[in-house]
Amino acid sequence: MAQIKIDGDQLIVEIEGWDKLWALKSRLEIPLANVRGATADPGITQEPKGVRAPGAYVPGVITAGTFHINGERVFWDVHHPANAVVIQLADERYTRLIIEVPNPRETVDQIEQAIAHTS
């Protein structure tokens, strides 16, 4: 699971607990200018993940780390699909962040409001 916060003009994603080990990341910082949008999308976990490099994938248990699919690099950190949020990015290492958060709807609203204020 991850916690998301807005700090000035940065979107901060803090990876929690053992997920730091599985995802091989503890924190991502993305300029809000490069965040295109966010959606709560529990169905995203049914889509193909691509090639894992590096990270962990145990179907039905965890998807964490960097995955490559269709020429894109996607960061995952999801245990429970019902809490999955997809964050679309531009001009970043990753094209999408797919992460599990405690409250997907609130997280999406927080990100969308922050984007609107930076535009």
Q: In the β-sheet with 96-100, what is the strand arrangement from edge to edge?
A: 35-40, 84-89, 96-100, 72-78, 62-69, 51-58
pTM of the model as a whole: 0.94
Domains of the chain: 2-118 (2.30.29)
Q: β-strands 96-100, 72-78: how paired?
A: parallel
pLDDT value for 48: 83
- pLDDT of 97 strictly over 80: yes
pLDDT at 72 (0 to 100): 95
Quick: pLDDT tens for 10-34. Answer: 999 999 999 999 899 999 999 999 9
Confidence of residue 119 (pLDDT cuts 50, 70, 90): low
